[in-house]
Structure 1
Amino acid sequence: MSHNIPDHLKGLTNYEVAASREKYGYNRIDAAQKNSWVELLIDIVKEPMLILLFAISAIYVIIGDYGEALFMFLAIVAVSAISLYQDNRSKKALEALEKLNEPLSEVIRNGKVIQILTSEIVVGDLCITKEGEMINADGKIVHSNDFSVNEASLTGESLSVFKSNETEDNEVFSGTVSVSGLAVFEVKKIGEETRLGKIGTSISSITEEISPLQLQIRKFVKTMAIAGILIFLMVCAVNYYHTQNLLESLLNGLTLAMSVLPEEIPVAFTTFMALGAWKLMREGIIIKRSNVVETLGSTTVICTDKTGTITENTMHLKHLYDYHSDKTFEEQDFKDAALTELIDYAMWSSEPVPFDPMEKTLHRIYGETQKNDLRKSYTLFHEYPLEGKPPMMTHLFQNAEKHRIIAAKGAPEAILNVSILPESEKNKIRELIRDFGKQGFRVLGVAKTNFEGYNFPEKQQDFKFDFLGLVVFYDPPKKGIQDVFQHIYNAGIKVKVITGDNTDTTKSIAVQAGIFNTGAAIEGKEIVEYPQERLLQEVSEKTLFTRMFPDAKLTVVNALKQNGEVVAMLGDGVNDAPALKAAHIGVAMGNKGTEIAKAAASLVIINDDLDKLVTGIAAGRRIYANIKKAVQYIISIHIPIILTVSLPLFLGWVFPQIFTPVHVIFLELIMGPTCSIVYENEPMEKNTMLRKPRKMTDTFLNWKELAMSIVQGLIITGGVLFAYQLMVQRGANEEETRAMVFTTLIFANILLSLTNRSFYYSLFESFKNRNILFVVVNLLTLILLFAILYFPLFSGFFKVTRLSLTELGLAGIIAVISVLWFEIYKLFKRMLRNS
């Protein structure tokens, strides 16, 4: 059994786990699942579009047009099916994300330490919790070493409390955080029965922030709905004035109201975000909230740590400097007798069960070089955790004969400060540290001391230490990291390195990793002293931030946000949680990240590969661009539908009712899937990651962007109404005119969906972006159109007649002229940019 856990702790057997689960259920805080299908259906029935369809169906039944009523009923089924499909897809994607976001817990079962999903913890389980982990059930401590817990989530008290099986308070609670050491606790309560469950809030529930784009979409749809009501009333009034027929007037009004409602837009937004998050999950990027996808595309600054993100986190021991002999030893000489004491104390100053790569290396080197391995005979009886600016740590061990070892290691400057050395010697060692740092090495100082009795000083810095030497590690930059940073810079995104390491080492590694502007660095202690104006200027100009501690990290993130940057912050430790929460996008690493960091982050990269963040940013930009295309397509195509329904009526043209609800609903049924399924599948345009990030507050629902969609819509309207008048001039009857207008509009719709695949590249360039759904949907639309025109059963129902080849050609030419002018506009745009 690992983790120094006593052998007598065996945990539950499989049979006992099953019995406990039968009795107490799963470890979840959530109300009983509602019947999701029924709920989804109720939500869909409340959709304005369906309410309109029901109203139209009712009027058709009253009039006695049962064929139309049946068609409307089928339309209701079709619209509901599309909505259900979309909602279900989004829901499934979000559920899959939720499952992946569920943390794992360590338990002892059948005498073995295993990892299980937190929801699978049962009453009676022996759970293990370590530094930086969230406690996931209520229980009683049965074994611990140097264990402290922060219970702020329950008590509001920010100081951590030391607990053990011997203290009076030996209970731990779900939702609290292990700050130091390790504890094994027996689970007493799970799920809704825990103290957290009784409060009824889950620590993991994050309130969804509404993004600027979401707000604008809601506002836009609301505006259109109000416009729809006004137009509905106007059409009803004008129609009733002319015909004195109330039901027919209502029918006309409802047709128009239906054509005004852009109900596809909110559906598209939700679908794009949920599916975007789901696709990223398959790439190894877990997104906690689907609207983070939109923010990702706007990222302007990435704040990254150095160790394990830029570097491999392998911590290879390269040199040992022994102070007594004043010699630096290479790897092949580590067995030299002169190094015994230095290696000895470097290991004793590490955790007994190491999880840090440097400490693992020190344990390994100790095992390889020391003749007598004393690790089994000494126990850790007192420790000072890593703290101070710069930080250090001290461990006190003793054996059965009460012989003591007191070892310290930490930032070389911290160890020099507490060592009994003349200043001249300290300066000599500082020079050495600088030389190592400039080569990109990570340097730690090692020291020892003696102390009798148990009246230990409150702070480790109060001991008087003997300086022993330096341990020098090399943590090389990851392979291919230069390319990753090149991609980031190409996308117009700035990089800031925020690390606890010293300036020289950070500079050297940053240069090797291909990071720009590494000239000057700034330390954490300076950052927190700066007045506001200076702070904002420094965080804007500097790239390297060294010797950083939690408050300093938070200060940098907040200052960048004040400068108007959209900040993605990478962090993995307990100390990074405040900065991760404060950033627009907190990014935790899946392998080396603590549970606390993952809980605070909005995005987790499963394999700790920084390039995945670039993938995420690209996905964010692709999704935003596709939502924009979909919404602008919807706006452009709604305009000709609205005007074709209303203008002949308002202008008193010969066939005032050129479109009935049947035609409008057919168009709506084509547009819905085109908008939210086809555009969602659209690949990224080729220069997407070579542009500057868009401002997060900028959305495409502004007049400048919408003007183009409105112009597109008005020109298509011009084409469609031209086709109407052309047929009237030729003496065509209502059915022939309707067939021509309807066909022209459907041709225009297909061309518009294709030309709007890019607002910059040509239609032919867009064909290189393979999207089979465009072919499928447009082919299906043409088949249905020809069925309506040339099958008497359908043409009778849609009140149209067949068109001759000439007329079809004419409808095609009008559609091409009224849509493909946009290609010429794009050509000029490209020529201007290239000139």
Structure 2
Amino acid sequence: MNERELESGLTQVEAERRLKKYGPNTIEKKKGISPVKIFFSQFNDFITWILIVATVISGFMGEKADAITILIIIIMNAILGFAQEFKTERSLETLKELASPTSRVLRNGKIKIINAQELVVGDVVFLESGDKVPADCILLSKGNFMVDESLLTGESEGVGKSNFGKNNSVYMGTIVIKGKGKAKVVQTGMKTEMGKIAGMLQNIEKDRSPLKEKLASLGKVLVVICIAICIIVTLTGVWRGQDKYEMFLVGVSLAVAAIPEGLAAIVTVALALGVSRMLKRNALVRKLPAVETLGCTSVICSDKTGTLTENKMTVKALYFNGKMHKADREVFPENMTMKKAFTYCNDFNFDIKKVHISEALMGDPTETALIKAFFKDGKTLKKFMDKAERIYDIPFDSDRKMMSVIMKEGSKKVCYVKGAPERVINRCKYILDRGEVKLFTSSEKNKALRAVENMTSDALRCIAGAYKDSGVAAGKSLENNLIFIGIAGIIDPPRKEAKDAVLKCKLAGIRPVMITGDHKNTAFAIGKELGICKTQSQVITGEELDKLSDRQLSSKIQQVSIFARVNPGHKLRIVKAFKAKDNIVAMTGDGVNDAPAVKEADIGICMGISGTDVTKEASSMILLDDNFTTIVAAVEEGRVIYDNIRKFIRYLLSCNLGEVLTMLLTSIFALETPLLPIQILMVNLATDGLPAIALGVDPPEGDIMKGRPRAKNESIFARGLSEKIIVRGALIGVCTVLAFVIGLYLGFGLETARTMALCTLIISQLIHVFECRSEKHSIFQINVFTNIYLLAAVATSIAMLLCTIYIPFLQMVFHTSPLIISQWFIVLFFSGIIAFMNSLYLYFKSNIA
């Protein structure tokens, strides 16, 4: 690799050429389930096989039309199931690809974030604490660098690395635990050390949703109940002298229609569709169970910078030589030592070809803001940087809250330091005052701290600078006996949309909590503006937190809205304290030290832009835009998904119950069989598939975020859902039987009465699907046009029904007869009367309330 490629990286054209030649940077893994296997798995059901065998037998017995039609219905059901499962598999695979590691790489002179599998030999990548090394590399940067190689060696101790000698290699899959710098890719994919032991790399697991597990268990119970009822119906018919084979086929058909075998599968479809919608709102869900928990969230603990604020930093004030200098022009008054401290002690990158400094700079917004305060263009910055060489650095970490570098300026070594003012000031023995080094007295320190108070009260984030030019050597004493230079005050305005998101949280019974490493005053000023808190008594610092026992913190936690000057260890305590009060906690994080708190939280959220690979691995969800509003949107989506799952559970179970009761009641009262086997299967095809799926994409009700979060252990049947299912299912069955009996009583004939029962059962279920769109509002209060998928599904089902009773060929197949207006009046009356009465009840109830 030549010097130019080290400076500006590979060109995109060259990278694409190498990718094509050597292949992607991936480890070979097992292939996913094939579409053919997914399709044939739809038939892997005991009841379905019995029906297929019975149908084949009926074909040999001469009932060929019935046999062929039943097989067609079975295949159509399988196609619907295949479409659902295939779409879900594809959605989940897409999410896995999106959740795969990314890398910061230098291409065409710019830092780009790309999928790690697109890396090629010769790429220059940027690594920092918390990153997973994306390929085998050699280090290019000087500095204090350490890697966890336990995945390869089994040794838990970190391994120190340098940019020279034998110890300059870092390997794919290992974790950077200390340091920051550049590295050159030397091997990718199966040629890496990891590739040589590829068996160690596991595939992404399929997350099992707790709700899906519960519904699968419920499904087994319902299977037993349904089969028992079907046996009763069959034996009763045989006892009354009806054909044994016909009654056996009735029983099996009823079992196929009544057993909600797709219940758990539809939950997965709903979750996958919801996850896809979340992705469009910049929230990438890594673990499906997190979707269920999102709707229960009662506390959102969020970082401030970049999440609640814009992360667009601008230096607004500088304090040096005992005076405050406001930003009344583009570049501040010259202070060469401060300029050196904030420029050299910095990890920015820049493109020298860009004229304007804003276009040239790349890197952390805080660091680039400091550069913009002193430079107008990239060329001037380049000349300034060329005057000194960095020979050692101690990267910033959240415990020290400082960063230090040793620069070689000619023959002299100088250490520059920047960090939190109180930390830097405590390590300073001297002060630089108008070019003269003096003793940093208590009065001068207090004056500097008052300057910090004033700036933070104006919502400015403060960074202090210091240096030392004697006794400079790597070691524990490097950051002691420093010379204080001054303080930069940086504004980071709140996001415009964050205030509305905070209000939305409060209306939804969710507590927004700000967690920041910034000064208490800065945090309070931003928090008050956003509506997170009202008084300083709601703010607590990390230092104050350390003085509280776990019991004291637990008693106080519900009154605290802002945690300032905290470290990652504090975050873990905060999460545990909120959880101890039975809160469902969402916690954001980005750094490697945030991972324990993110993992401990009920919903661990990692920043997609600034988050490290370790934190991403620990998280349940990744924010692709690092925006607080996206968290609130994800919580809202979590509530919507859970509501939609309740909707189609209500629909499926009440409809299936109605079908079972229709057959059971007629058996109990010794009536003719109201539906033939093929008609039962027709009901199943018309009502169970498309309408249920369409409910899974139902838009949220307007007041979805105006109620308190549900309890995490709440049953899916809570809040009266089980009663609604039983009552509505019973009424569907009773109304169908009444339509059938009236048809017989009025002398319409058995075939016409069965057709009336078929129409009543299907139409009553299709009306009920609109009732299921809301548990609080009537059909009259719901805009039916807000879910066009449901309208299309219902229209398709009605068209199928009309075809079966008005097309002569299908009349013979399904044993139906065309209905006249008076017969349709009976069907529509019994199909709609219960829904109409229930809607009137809900309408008056909501208006009285």
Q: TM-score, normalised by structure 1?
A: 0.91
Partner amino acid, structure 1, of 2:80: I
Q: Name the CA shift for 1:256/1:828 in 2 (closer, same or farther; >3 Å).
A: same
Q: 1:355 aligns with which of 359, 363, 373?
A: 363
1:608 aligns with 2:626: yes
Q: Name the SS of the counterpart of 2:386 in structure 1.
A: coil
The yes-or-no answer on 1:283 pairing with 2:281 is yes
Distance (whole Å) between structure 1 residues aligned to residue 19 and residue 155 of structure 2: 33
CA contact (8 A) 1:56 1:72 kept: no
- Amino acid in the other structure paired with 2:491: Y
Q: Which range moves more in the overlay, 526-535 or 543-552?
A: 526-535
Alignment of 1:244-255 (within 5 A): 246-255=244-253
Deviation at 1:547, TM superposition (A): 1.1
Report the counterpart of residue 375 of structure 2 in structure 1: 367
Aligned in 2, Cα 1:473/1:786: closer, same or farther, shift over 3 Å? closer
1:535-614 to structure 2, matched below 5 A, reads: 535-614=553-632
Q: In the alignment, which of 390, 404, 408 is matched to residue 413 of structure 2?
A: 404
Q: Which amino acid aligns with 1:98?
A: K
Alignment match, 1:190: 189
Aligned in 2, Cα 1:293/1:779: closer, same or farther, shift over 3 Å? same
Match of 1:790 among 784, 806, 812: 806
Match of 2:96 in 1: 98
In the other structure, the counterpart of 1:687 is: 703
Residue 829 of structure 2 aligns to a residue whose secondary structure is: helix
Q: How far 1:746 moved relative to its partner?
A: 2.0
Give distance in 2, aligned partners of 1:789 and 1:46.
32
- Secondary structure at the aligned position of 2:463 is classed as strand
1:415 correspondence with 2:415: no
Residue 258 of structure 1, aligned match among 256, 260, 268: 256
Are residues 426 and 145 of structure 1, via their aligned partners in 2, closer, same or farther at CA, if it must alter by over 3 Å? closer
- The equivalent of 2:492 in structure 1 is 475
Instruction: Tell me the amino acid that sits aligned with residue 770 of structure 1.
Output: T
Alpha-carbon shift at residue 47 of structure 1 (Å) = 3.8
Find the counterpart in structure 2 of residue 618 from structure 1.
Answer: 636
Matched to 1:534, the amino acid is: Q
Would you say 1:394 and 2:404 are equivalent positions?
A: yes
Structure 2 equivalent of residue 825 of structure 1: 841
CA distance in 1, matches of 2:835, 2:333: 84
Task: Report if aligned partners of 1:59, 1:251 keep a CA contact under 8 Å in 2.
Answer: no
5 Å-filtered alignment, 1:311-390, equals 311-322=309-320, 325-332=321-328, 339-351=335-347, 353=349, 355-367=363-375, 374-387=384-397, 389=399
* Structure 2 CA distance for aligned equivalents of residues 12 and 831 of structure 1: 67
Contact 1:227-1:260 within 8 A present in 2 as well: no
Residue 666 of structure 1 and its aligned partner are, at CA, apart by 0.6
- Report the AA paired with residue 778 of structure 2: S
Structure 1 residue 94: Cα displacement: 2.2
> For the residues of structure 2 that align with 1:124 and 1:84, how far apart are their CA atoms?
44
- Matched residue, 2:827: 811
Q: Is the 8 A contact 2:402 2:420 kept in 1?
A: yes
Letter in 2 for 1:423: S
Change (3 A) 1:48 1:171: farther
The reply on whether 1:507 has 2:524 as its aligned counterpart is yes
Q: Secondary structure at the match of 1:187?
A: strand
Deviation at 1:9, TM superposition (A): 9.4
For residue 304 of structure 2, the aligned residue among 286, 303, 306 is 306
Residue correspondence of structure 1 range 16-95 to structure 2 within 5 A:
25-34=23-32, 36-48=34-46, 50-95=48-93
**1:640 is matched with which residue: 619, 637, 658?**
658
**CA deviation after TM superposition for structure 1 residue 605, in Å:** 2.7
Bigger Cα displacement from structure 2, 56-65 vs 125-134: 125-134
Q: Secondary structure at the match of 1:787?
A: helix
Cα gap change, 1:91 to 1:532, in 2 (>3 Å): same
CA drift at 1:135? 1.0
Note if contact 2:319-2:451 (Cα within 8 Å) is conserved in structure 1: no
SS at match of 2:26: coil
Q: Partners in 1 of 2:475 and 2:58 — Cα distance?
A: 90
CA separation of 1:12 and 1:758: change in aligned 2, threshold 3 A? closer
Answering whether residue 450 of structure 2 is matched by residue 442 of structure 1, we say: no
8 Å CA contact 1:269, 1:627 repeated in 2: yes
**How many angstroms apart in 1 are the aligned matches of 2:472 and 2:187?**
39
Retained in 2: the 8 A contact 1:147–1:183? no
Q: Distance in 2 between matches of 1:664 and 1:526?
A: 69
2: CA distance between counterparts of 1:372 and 1:796? 87
Alpha-carbon offset, residue 155 of structure 1:
4.9
State the partner residue of 1:779.
Answer: 795
Question: Any idea what the Cα deviations from partners look like across 1:800-829, whole Å, max 9, x if unmatched?
Answer: 333332121012112222332221331244
* CA 151–563 in structure 1, closer or farther in 2 if over 3 Å, else same: farther
Q: Which amino acid is 1:466 matched to? A: I
Would the alpha carbon gap of residues 703 and 492 (structure 1) be closer, same or farther in structure 2, given more than 3 Å must change?
closer
Cα pair 1:345 1:407 within 8 Å, conserved: yes
2:503 is aligned to 486
Instruction: For residue 196 of structure 1, report the CA deviation from its aligned partner.
Output: 6.9
Alpha-carbon distance in structure 1 between the residues aligned to 2:706 and 2:104:
44
Shift of 1:314: 2.2
Moved more, 37-46 or 761-770: 761-770
Q: In the aligned structure 1, how far is the partner of 2:71 from the partner of 2:698?
A: 32
Structure 1 CA distance, aligned partners of 2:295 and 2:366?
A: 36
Give SS of 2:689's match: helix
Which moves more between the two structures, 468-477 or 197-206? 197-206
- State the 1:17 CA deviation: 7.0
- Residues 155-174 of structure 1 show CA distances to partners (whole Å, capped at 9, x for unaligned) of 56555432124344333222
8 Å CA contact 2:48, 2:256 repeated in 1:
no
* Superposed CA offset, 1:566-616 (max 9, x none): 222222333322222222222233333344444433323323332222222
Contact 1:12 1:124 in 2 (8 A): no
Superimposed CA distance per residue, residues 55-88 of structure 1 (whole angstroms, 9 cap, x where no aligned partner): 3312322432111100011112211111121122
Once the two structures are overlaid, the 10-residue window that deviates more, 440-449 or 496-505, is 440-449
Q: SS of the counterpart of 1:279?
A: helix
Contact 1:106/1:114 (<8 A) preserved: yes
Question: Do the aligned residues in 1 keep the contact of 2:691 with 2:794 (CA within 8 Å)?
Answer: no
Instruction: Return the alpha-carbon distance in structure 1 between the equivalents of residues 205 and 652 of structure 2.
Output: 32
State the TM-score, normalizing by the size of structure 2: 0.89
Give the percent of matched residue pairs that are identical in Structure 1 and Structure 2: 26
Determine which of 443, 446, 449 is the counterpart of 1:430: 449
**Secondary structure of 2:518's aligned partner:** coil
> How many angstroms does 1:692 deviate by?
1.5
Partners of 1:97 and 1:260 in 2: CA distance = 34
CA shift for structure 1 position 126: 5.5
Q: Is the 8 A contact 1:175 1:196 kept in 2?
A: no
Q: Conserved in 1, the CA contact under 8 Å of 2:179 and 2:394?
A: no
- Distance in 1 between residues matched to 2:129 and 2:83, nearest whole Å: 44
Deviating more after overlay: 216-225 vs 552-561: 552-561
Q: 1:107 to 1:472 in 2, by over 3 A?
A: closer
- Is there any run of 5+ residues in structure 2 with no aligned partner, and where? 350-361, 430-439
Partner Cα distance (2:386, 2:223) in 1: 76
Quote the Cα distance in structure 2 between the aligned partners of 1:361 and 1:85.
Answer: 51
Larger displacement relative to structure 2 (330-339 or 797-806): 330-339
